[in-house]
């Protein structure tokens, strides 16, 4: 049964046409993904189907009695309404029946004539039957189930919706939508502001739900789970494909390849025909030439396939970091910490390694790591941290050169704060963070704080690297900025444009350690795929927070899960993490324990690391490996110091040569020889120890 149909729909805003001649049909229980680039008209089409916007041309028809529910990206609520009032509004008829039943029961208690009592009893019976038929005895359980699945605490039920954050508003609207008795759900980016567990719950709910669903989303994993049909809005047209996102992508690639072949074959035929017509237009074969011209005029031309140009992005580094890129020790991450941490190099500590626990040396303001020296961000000694501000306690973990570590977990658990501790923007509450030898870090902030709101896109690029206007515009073109887009102020850019500009700035650097906070937020589905390819080919180390499971599965070598005040490490990508999570839950079920929340803190004494181990032997091996790495860090610091000493001596020798001071030249030459020999000695020791550490680590893996 067709619930909704559209025929010949067209829509434009001013002189700009959004789409033209769009037709569709939505069948009962369809699961449809609507994809396309930002600005292609997906949200507009949903609003037209929902009856909230009129097309310029064409018609939309709904089957008789079909109820349509719509979830917009931006949600508004009636003033003064609480969450409980709003959510229970989905059961308006049941609430009316409850009130009527209470009134009938009160009348029965008051008594009356036999005829009046009989009438009241009959009415009570009818109402009770309707109440049961409409699910009156189970709707409170349904409310609790949906609120729990969307991670909305029942303590919020009496809270006024106007006080909710953007993410909380979306969840409230989603709860009301899912609880209502709609036949067709139109959902515009429903996973925005949802963490992974809530997204997984929504996937399962929609797969089992009775209504048909049309969903706009850039979450490819979500679309793979939910959709059975994919609509693509492209170049003002709507194309339908069978299957989920992955099947759509394969079908589209085949369709484009086939169309390209048909186009090329037809162009070759046209060229041969036009050549024949030119050669024989006035000769003995003029009649044939005229006939061919008529055929050519009537030929239905195959249009050249046009697909959206992808971002042509490349992020590479020519710098090589040491073996250990990041390590933590006794780290506690808390909210409300100062924004200027204690920062010092290992050399400044008197060659103190990150796990020695020695006294702090002089501190400096945090900055981008450009010296190549190992750096430690440490909490001040003796500071009292309020327990209520603690977000999570981090076990001693490390990231090795070439690792790609994904951090996942519920919203509000401290993932972004952890990244800000790693980058030196926020102090650790306790413990310290070590950034290794040769690390050059670049940070992509979720809210794009690295962009200056009053600069233009062109100005942002030129402030990062000295490029002339043409060079900067050409570079921005690789990130899909064209024409006058480059002169837009950052404050007026869309979320997707700001994301692409932030990536453009990051790509200009030479960082070998990328720290990324939700890098796919605001990017459309094609830009996400392009970024995934870029990061997959990146030759450095990556630490990233993301809810994009496609990105995690394609990129991550380890998954760190933050939840319930702890961090748990898993080797492998998203699929490996799911297997480990299911094993953990199965073990708890077998033991008769309730399911443990994803990412709950490990038991007392359990090592929770990207390379976990639990036995005493494993711990002893880990300590020995840590000691070797500490020695390696000291050697890295000494190598850096020798290099700096040689640079100073080179400058002094140049000055002495210019002054013609032979005695100083001889003295500086002797110092230069000694420093060169020391550097060679330290480098040999570093290479030998590095090979030992690599061998032990591989054996331990």
**In the structure encoding, which two tokens stand for residue 381, read together?**
């000694």
**In the structure encoding, which two tokens stand for residue 182, read together?**
């709609």
pLDDT value of position 627? 67
Of 89 and 361, more confident: 89
pLDDT tier for residue 495 given thresholds of 50, 70 and 90: confident
Residues 362 and 376 in one domain: yes
Residues 34 and 128 in one domain: no
Most confident of 58-72, 288-302, 599-613: 58-72
Residue 655 lies in a domain: yes
Mean pLDDT of 447-451: 85
DSSP for residue 447: T
Place of tokens 């502001």: 193
Residues 55 and 12 in one domain: yes
Residue 81 lies in a domain: yes
Residue 597 lies in a domain: no
Mean pLDDT of 302-320: 76
480 lies in which domain range?
454-509
pLDDT value of position 667? 74
pLDDT value of position 309? 61
**In the structure encoding, which two tokens stand for residue 339, read together?**
């924004």
pLDDT value of position 362? 27
Residues 393 and 490 in one domain: no
Mean pLDDT of 393-410: 94
**Closest to 22 measured CA to CA, from 14, 34, 31:** 34
Residue 316 lies in a domain: no
Total count of domains within the chain: 6
Residue 611 lies in a domain: no
DSSP for residue 162: G
SS3 state of residue 36: coil
Distance CA 291, CA 191 (A): 59
Beta bridge partners of 568: 561
pLDDT value of position 648? 82
pLDDT value of position 173? 93
Average pLDDT, the chain: 83
> For the domain that residue 139 is a member of, what is the CATH number?
3.40.50.300
Place of tokens 């994803």: 598
Radius of gyration of the chain, Cα coordinates, nearest whole angstrom? 33
Residues 645 and 684 in one domain: yes
Residues 42 and 147 in one domain: yes
Contact 222, 201 (CB under 8 A): no
Residues 45 and 117 in one domain: no
Sign of CA dihedral 604, 610, 616, 621: negative
Residues 113 and 88 in one domain: no
**In the structure encoding, which two tokens stand for residue 657, read together?**
């040569």
Residue 49 lies in a domain: yes
Distance CA 170, CA 104 (A): 38
Residue 489 lies in a domain: yes
**In the structure encoding, which two tokens stand for residue 675, read together?**
């420093």
**In the structure encoding, which two tokens stand for residue 89, read together?**
């509004």
| Backbone dihedral angles phi then psi of residue 485, each to the nearest 5 degrees | -55, -30
Residue 319 lies in a domain: no
pLDDT value of position 526? 87
Q: What is the pTM of this model?
A: 0.73
pLDDT digits (tens, 9 = 90+) for 190-233: 998 888 888 999 999 999 989 999 999 999 999 999 999 999 99
**For the chain, the helix, strand and coil percentages under 3-state DSSP, each to the nearest 5:** 45, 20, 35
Residues 66 and 165 in one domain: yes
**In the structure encoding, which two tokens stand for residue 258, read together?**
């086939």
Residues 139 and 126 in one domain: no
Domain boundary among 213, 247, 281: 247
Of 206 and 622, more confident: 206
Q: What is the DSSP string of 629-690?
A: HHHHHHHHHHHHHHHHHHHHHHHHHHHHHHHT-HHHHHHHHHHHHHHHHHHHHHHHHHHHHH
Beta bridge partners of 489: 456
Sign of CA dihedral 383, 388, 391, 395: positive
Q: How many CB atoms lie within 10 A of CB 189?
A: 19
Mean pLDDT of 30-55: 94
Residues 165 and 16 in one domain: yes
Of 498 and 352, more confident: 498
Distance CA 560, CA 406 (A): 6
H and E: helices and strands count for the chain: 19, 21
Residues 187 and 258 in one domain: no
* Contacts (Cβ under 8 Å, ≥6 apart) of 403: 325, 541, 542, 557, 558, 610
User: By mean pLDDT, which of 289-298, 299-308, 319-328, 550-559 is the weakest?
Assistant: 299-308
């Amino acid at each position: 049964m067709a619930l909704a149909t559209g025929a010949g729909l067209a829509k434009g805003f001013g002189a700009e046409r959004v789409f033209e001649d769009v037709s569709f049909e939505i069948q009962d229980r369809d699961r449809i993904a609507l994809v396309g680039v930002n600005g292609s008209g997906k949200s507009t089409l949903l609003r037209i189907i929902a009856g909230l916007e009129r097309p310029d041309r064409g018609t939309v028809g709904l089957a008789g009695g079909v109820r349509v529910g719509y979830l917009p990206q931006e949600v508004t609520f009636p003033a003064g309404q609480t969450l409980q009032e709003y959510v229970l509004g989905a059961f308006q008829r049941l609430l009316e029946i409850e009130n009527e039943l209470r009134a009938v029961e009160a009348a029965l208690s008051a008594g009356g004539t036999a005829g009046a009592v009989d009438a009241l009893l009959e009415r009570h019976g009818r109402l009770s039957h309707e109440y049961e038929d409409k699910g009156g005895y189970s709707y409170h359980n349904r409310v609790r189930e949906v609120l729990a699945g969307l991670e909305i605490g029942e303590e919020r039920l009496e809270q006024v919706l106007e006080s909710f954050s953007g993410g909380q508003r979306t969840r409230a609207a989603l709860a009301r939508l899912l609880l209502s008795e709609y036949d067709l759900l139109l959902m515009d980016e429903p996973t925005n502001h949802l963490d992974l567990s809530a997204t997984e719950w929504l996937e399962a709910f929609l797969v089992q739900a009775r209504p048909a669903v049309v969903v706009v989303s850039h979450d490819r994993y979500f679309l793979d789970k939910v959709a059975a049909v994919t609509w693509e809005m492209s170049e003002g047209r709507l194309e339908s494909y069978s299957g989920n996102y992955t099947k759509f992508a394969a079908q589209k690639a085949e369709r484009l390849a086939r169309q390209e072949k048909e186009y090329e074959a037809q162009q070759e035929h046209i060229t041969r025909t036009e050549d024949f017509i030119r050669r024989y237009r006035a000769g003995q074969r003029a009649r044939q030439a005229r006939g061919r011209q008529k055929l050519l005029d009537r030929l239905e031309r195959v249009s050249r396939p046009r697909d959206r140009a992808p971002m042509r992005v490349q992020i590479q580094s020519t710098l090589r970091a040491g073996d250990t890129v990041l390590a933590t020790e006794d780290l506690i991450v808390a909210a409300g910490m100062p924004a200027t941490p204690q920062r010092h190099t290992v050399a400044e500590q008197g060659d103190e390694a990150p796990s020695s626990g020695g006294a702090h040396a002089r501190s400096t303001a945090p900055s981008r790591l450009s010296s190549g020296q190992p750096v430690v961000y440490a909490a001040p000694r003796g500071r009292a941290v309020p327990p209520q501000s603690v977000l999570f306690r981090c076990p001693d973990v490390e990231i090795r050169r070439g690792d790609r570590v994904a951090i996942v977990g519920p919203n509000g658990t401290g993932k972004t704060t952890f990244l800000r501790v790693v980058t030196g923007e926020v102090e650790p509450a306790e413990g310290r963070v070590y950034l290794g030898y040769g690390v050059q870090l670049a940070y992509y902030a979720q809210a794009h704080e690295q962009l200056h709101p009053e600069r233009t896109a062109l100005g942002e690029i030129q402030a990062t690297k000295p490029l002339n206007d043409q060079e900067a515009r050409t570079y921005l073109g690789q990130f899909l900025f064209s024409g006058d887009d480059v002169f837009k102020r950052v404050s007026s850019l869309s979320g997707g444009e700001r994301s692409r500009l932030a990536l453009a700035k990051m790509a200009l650097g030479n960082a070998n350690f990328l720290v990324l906070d939700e890098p796919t937020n605001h990017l459309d589905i094609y830009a996400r795929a392009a970024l995934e390819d870029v990061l997959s080919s990146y030759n450095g180390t990556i630490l990233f927070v993301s809810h994009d499971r496609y990105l995690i599965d394609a990129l991550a070598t380890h998954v760190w899960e933050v939840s319930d005040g702890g961090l748990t490490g898993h080797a492998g990508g998203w699929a490996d993490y799911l297997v480990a999570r299911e094993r953990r839950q199965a073990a708890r079920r077998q033991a008769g324990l309730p399911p443990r929340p994803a990412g709950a803190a490990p038991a007392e004494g359990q090592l929770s690391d990207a390379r976990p181990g639990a036995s005493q032997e494993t711990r002893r091996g880990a300590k020995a490996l840590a000691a070797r790495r500490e020695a390696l860090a000291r050697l890295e610091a000494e190598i850096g110091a020798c290099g700096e000493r040689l640079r100073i001596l080179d400058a002094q020798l140049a000055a002495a040569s210019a002054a013609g001071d032979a005695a100083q030249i001889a003295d500086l030459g002797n110092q230069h020889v000694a420093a060169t020999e020391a550097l060679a000695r330290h480098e040999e020791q570093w290479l030998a120890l590095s090979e030992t550490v690599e061998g032990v680590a591989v054996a331990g893996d």
